[in-house]
C-alpha cells in the first residue's frame, strides 16, 4: 500500500502534461518523417524499375538482353527507354535525357560475349545528395545485376538449345559483365563509382548535421537557462535597475552564448573529424582528387559559407531562446520551453540525414523549408552540389527570420514584458484569483 502510494506519486511527478506533450509531438514528428520517407522509398523503387539504356552495339543479342531487362521474370516489369547519345558529355546528356542514370552498351559488346570475354558496360549515374535514401538507387550494383541477369538469361537460353555448357562457359556465366562507372555531380563527371563517392562523402554529410543540431541545442539551452535563471533568481531585476543599458545586457548575453557555441563548434568539428577519419575504411587517397574535382569536398571559402549559415542559425536560436527564457515561470517550465526549438531542429536534422529534402512533395518541402534551421542542415550539401540558389535563398530567409526574432527579443527585453510575461505549460490559471489582485478603476 505504501509502495503503491509512493509509486503513484513518482509517476504523477514524472508523467506531467509537459512530458506527455513531448511524447505526442515526438510521435507526430516520427510519423511525418516516416510518411516523407515512405514516399521517397516508393520514388526510389520506381526509379530502379525505370531503365534508360543506350545500345551502341545494336545486335540481335543486345536487343534480346534489353528485352529481358524489360521482363526479367517473376512478374517484374521494368520500363526500359532506349536513347541515342549526342555527345560524350555525360552531364549534359543526363540533363538532356532528363534521367538520373544511364546504361551504355558499347559497340563490340556481343563480340566480347561470344568470344568468352567479360563484356564491358558503362554505367553513368548522377549524384544529387548525400542523404541515405537519395543514394539507394544510384549504385552500380543495381545496374550490374540487371544487365548480368539479362546477359545470363540470354546466354543460358542460347546454350541450352545448343546442348551442354562447357567449363569456360560456366565461368563466363559467373561474371559475364564488367562495369565502368561514371558519376556526374553538377556539370562535372568522373570515372568513379557513385557508391565509392557516397561512402567517402557520407561521413561529411553526416557530421555537419550532427554539429548543427548539437550547436542549436547547446546554444539554446545556454541562453534559455541564463535568462530564465536570472529572471527566477531576480538577478535580472538587479541588473536592469543598474546604470547599464538593457541592450548592453541583452547583447552581452547573446554574444557570450555565441562565443561559447563557436567554441563548441570548433571542438565538435575537430573531434568529429577525428572520429570520422577513424571510421573511414580502407585507403581512399586515390579518390581524394576526384572528390575535389567533383566539388564534393568543401574549400575554405565554402566552409565560410557554411559557417555564415551556422552563425545565423545560432543567432536565430539564441533570440528565440531569449524570448522563451523570458516566458519561464519556474525551473520546470524553463526546461519544457526548449521543446519548440528541439522540434524545429530535429525535423530537418532527421530528414536531411535520411533523404534529399529537395525531392519532398511541394507541401512538405514548403513546411520543412519554413523551418529556418533546415537551410543550415542543407548548407554543405547545397554548396557541394552547386545548388547555390537554394543556399542564398535559404540564407536570405534566415536573415529575415533573424531580424524578426531579434526585433521581438529586443522588444521583450526592453519593455515590461521581460518581467510580466510568463507561460506555464500544463498549469491551470485561476482567472478569478489573478484578477482579484488588481483593483478596478
Partner 1 sequence: METQSNNVLEVRGLSKQYKKGVYASQDVTFEVRKGEIFALIGPNGAGKTTTIRMIATLLKATEGDAVVAGHSILTEPEKVRQNITYLPDEAGAYKTMTGRGYLEFMAGIYADNKAQAAEFVKTGCEICELGDRLDDKIGSYSRGMIRKLLLARAIMSKPALAIFDEPTSGLDIINALEIRRMIKDLAAQGMSFLLSSHNMLEIEYVSDRVGIIAKGHLLEVGTPAELKEKYNTQNLEEVFEKVVMSNEVC
**Is 38 one of the binding residues for partner 1 (CB under 8 A)?**
no
Number of residues in contact with partner 1 under rule CB under 8 A: 23
Task: Kindly tell me which of 283 and 416 has the beta carbon lying closer to partner 1.
Answer: 416
Among the listed residues 156, 270, 392, 419, the single contact to partner 1 using CB under 8 A: 419
Residue 73 in contact with partner 1, rule: CB under 8 A: no
Among the residue ranges 32-40, 84-92, 236-244, 273-281, the one whose residues contact partner 1 (CB under 8 A): 236-244
Comparing CB distances to partner 1, the nearer of 236 and 338 is: 236
Kind of pairing between the strands at 79-82 and 177-185: unpaired
Q: What are phi and psi of 372, to 5 degrees?
A: -60, -25
Verify binding: residue 243, partner 1, rule CB under 8 A.
Answer: yes
Binding of residue 233 to partner 1 (CB under 8 A): yes
**For the purposes of burial, counting CB atoms within 10 Å of the CB of 262, is it exposed (0-12), middle (13-18) or buried (19 or more)?**
middle
Does residue 156 belong to the site contacting partner 1 (CB under 8 A)? no
Shortest distance in whole angstroms from residue 226 CB to partner 1: 10
Compare residues 16 and 414 and give the one whose CB is closer to partner 1.
Answer: 414
User: For residues 139 and 90, is the Cβ–Cβ distance under 8 A?
Assistant: no
Task: Decide: is 439 part of the binding site for partner 1 (CB under 8 A).
Answer: yes
Say if strands 79-82 and 101-105 run parallel, antiparallel, or are unpaired.
unpaired
Question: If binding is defined by CB under 8 A, does position 242 make contact with partner 1?
Answer: yes
Residues making up the chain, counted from first to last: 441
Query: CB-wise, 25 or 240, nearer to partner 1?
Result: 240
Strand-strand pairing, 101-105 and 119-126 = antiparallel
Q: Is the dihedral of CA 334, 339, 344, 348 positive or negative?
A: positive
Q: Which stretch binds partner 1 (CB under 8 A): 21-29, 36-44, 203-211, 414-422?
A: 414-422
CA distance 203 to 351: 16
Residue 234 interacts with partner 1 (CB under 8 A): yes or no = yes
Considering only CA atoms, which of 370, 315, 324, 322 is closest in space to residue 347?
Answer: 370
Binding mask 244-283 for partner 1 (x = CB under 8 A): xx--------------------------------------
Q: How many CA within 13 A on the CB side of residue 344?
A: 21
State the minimum distance, in angstroms, from the CB of residue 257 to partner 1.
Answer: 16
Give the list of residues 6+ apart from residue 397 with CB closer than 8 angstroms, or none: 369, 372, 375
DSSP 328: B
Smallest distance from the beta carbon of 142 to partner 1, in angstroms? 58
Shortest distance, position 248 Cβ to partner 1, whole Å = 10
Residue 424 CB, nearest approach to partner 1 (Å): 18
- The residue with cell 556481343 is 110
Alpha helix (H) ranges present in 108-245?
A: 109-114, 140-162, 167-174, 194-233, 235-240
Instruction: Identify the bridge partners of residue 76 per DSSP, sorted by sequence position.
Output: 73
Nearer to partner 1, 70 or 233 (CB): 233
Q: Order of strands across the sheet with 177-185?
A: 79-82, 50-55, 101-105, 119-126, 177-185, 188-190
Q: Is residue 331 part of the contact set for partner 1 (CB under 8 A)?
A: no
Residue placing its CB nearer to partner 1 in the complex, 309 or 333: 333
The nearest distance, CB 435 to partner 1, in angstroms, is 7
List interacting residues with partner 1 (CB under 8 A).
233-235, 237-245, 415-416, 419-420, 435-441
Amino acid at each position: 500500500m505504501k509502495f503503491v502510494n509512493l509509486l503513484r506519486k513518482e509517476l504523477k511527478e514524472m508523467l506531467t502534461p509537459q512530458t506527455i506533450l513531448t511524447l505526442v509531438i515526438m510521435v507526430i514528428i516520427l510519423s511525418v518523417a516516416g510518411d516523407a520517407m515512405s514516399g521517397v522509398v516508393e520514388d526510389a523503387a520506381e526509379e530502379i524499375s525505370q531503365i534508360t539504356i543506350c545500345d551502341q552495339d545494336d545486335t540481335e543479342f543486345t536487343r534480346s538482353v534489353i528485352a529481358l531487362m524489360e521482363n526479367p521474370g517473376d512478374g517484374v516489369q521494368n520500363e526500359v527507354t532506349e536513347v541515342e547519345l549526342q555527345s560524350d558529355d555525360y552531364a549534359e546528356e543526363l540533363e538532356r535525357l532528363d534521367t538520373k542514370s544511364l546504361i551504355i552498351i558499347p559497340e563490340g559488346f556481343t563480340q566480347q560475349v561470344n568470344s568468352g570475354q567479360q563484356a564491358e558496360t558503362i554505367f553513368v549515374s548522377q549524384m544529387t545528395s548525400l542523404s541515405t535514401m537519395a543514394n539507394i538507387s544510384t549504385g552500380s550494383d543495381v545496374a550490374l545485376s540487371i544487365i548480368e541477369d539479362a546477359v545470363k538469361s540470354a546466354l543460358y537460353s542460347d546454350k541450352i538449345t545448343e546442348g551442354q555448357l562447357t567449363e569456360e562457359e560456366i565461368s563466363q556465366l559467373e561474371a559475364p559483365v564488367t562495369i565502368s562507372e561514371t558519376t556526374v555531380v553538377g556539370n562535372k563527371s568522373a570515372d568513379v563509382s557513385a557508391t565509392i563517392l557516397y561512402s567517402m562523402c557520407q561521413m561529411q554529410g553526416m557530421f555537419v548535421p550532427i554539429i548543427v543540431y548539437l550547436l542549436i541545442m547547446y546554444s539554446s539551452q545556454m541562453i534559455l537557462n541564463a535568462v530564465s535563471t536570472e529572471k527566477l533568481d531576480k538577478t535580472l531585476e538587479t541588473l536592469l535597475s543598474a546604470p547599464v543599458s538593457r541592450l548592453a545586457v541583452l547583447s552581452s548575453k547573446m554574444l557570450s552564448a555565441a562565443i561559447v557555441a563557436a567554441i563548441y563548434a570548433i571542438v565538435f568539428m575537430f573531434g568529429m573529424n577525428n572520429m570520422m577519419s577513424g571510421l573511414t575504411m580502407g585507403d581512399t587517397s586515390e579518390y581524394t582528387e576526384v572528390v575535389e574535382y567533383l566539388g564534393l569536398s568543401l574549400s575554405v571559402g565554402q566552409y565560410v559559407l557554411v559557417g555564415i549559415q551556422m552563425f545565423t542559425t545560432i543567432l536565430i536560436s539564441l533570440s528565440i531562446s531569449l524570448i522563451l527564457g523570458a516566458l519561464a515561470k519556474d525551473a520546470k517550465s524553463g526546461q519544457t520551453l526548449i521543446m519548440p526549438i528541439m522540434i524545429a531542429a530535429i525535423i530537418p536534422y532527421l530528414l536531411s540525414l535520411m533523404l534529399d529534402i529537395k525531392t519532398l512533395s511541394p507541401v512538405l518541402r514548403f513546411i520543412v523549408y519554413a523551418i529556418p534551421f533546415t537551410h543550415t542542415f542543407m548548407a554543405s550539401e547545397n554548396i557541394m552540389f552547386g545548388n547555390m540558389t537554394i543556399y542564398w535563398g535559404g540564407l536570405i530567409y534566415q536573415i529575415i527570420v533573424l531580424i524578426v526574432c531579434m526585433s521581438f527579443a529586443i522588444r521583450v527585453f526592453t519593455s515590461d514584458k521581460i518581467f510580466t510575461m510568463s507561460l506555464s505549460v500544463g498549469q491551470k490559471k485561476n482567472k478569478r484569483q489573478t484578477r482579484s489582485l488588481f483593483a478596478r478603476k
